Amino acid sequence: MILAYYLGEEIGAVARSEIFELSKKALYHSRLCIAELFYVLCRRRGIKAANDYTHAYLDAGHSVLSDSEEIDIAAGAYKCERAISLADCYVIATAKSQTASAVFARHERDLDAEIKKRRFDVEVLFLEDLKVRQGTE
């Protein structure tokens, strides 16, 4: 979700309007989320842009670090039980620890397949779905 915003993707506008501009919504991240933000930006835009965007995101105070052994263990348990990326496991574990929704930019085959098999114990939302709804209003 954060990547879509910083990469200038169309779905990033939904992140801005639905997440960043609505101050009543809290946003939490894990350290792995920040590492993933940095490495993807680095691969696509170079190390300087990755450094600038990652620090800008952290300095803006849009989200709060949620970091604990409880989250690490929960993420490991999701990874053990589910065929999804470790980064996605951390998003879900962080959401669970905060009694929040796990928000992803778009649907992914592996995540959708796991949801079809068995729903997660937290709400999983996709900005892509919000974009579709906005387009029909």
Query: 20-29: per-residue pLDDT in tens?
Result: 665 566 789 9
Q: Where are the beta strands (DSSP E) in the chain?
A: 28-29, 64-65, 102-104, 124-126
- The pLDDT value recorded for residue 112 is 98
CA atoms within 13 A on the CB side of 93: 29
Mean pLDDT of 89-98: 97
What is the C-alpha separation between 113 and 128, in angstroms, rounded? Answer: 17
| Whole-structure pTM value | 0.84
Q: By the 8 A CB rule, do 101 and 125 touch?
A: yes
Strand pairing class (124-126; 28-29): unpaired
Among residues 103, 93, 102, which one has the least CA distance to residue 67?
93
C-alpha dihedral (12, 42, 64, 70), degrees to nearest 10 = 120
The pLDDT-based confidence of 136 (bands split at 50, 70, 90) is very low
CATH for the 2-136 domain, from 3.40.50.12500, 3.10.450.50, 3.40.50.880, 3.40.50.1010:
3.40.50.1010
* Domain spans in the chain, listed from the N-terminal domain onward: 2-136
- The pLDDT value recorded for residue 24 is 61
The answer, yes or no, to whether residue 74 has pLDDT greater than 90, is yes
Q: Which residue has the tokens 């995101």?
A: 57
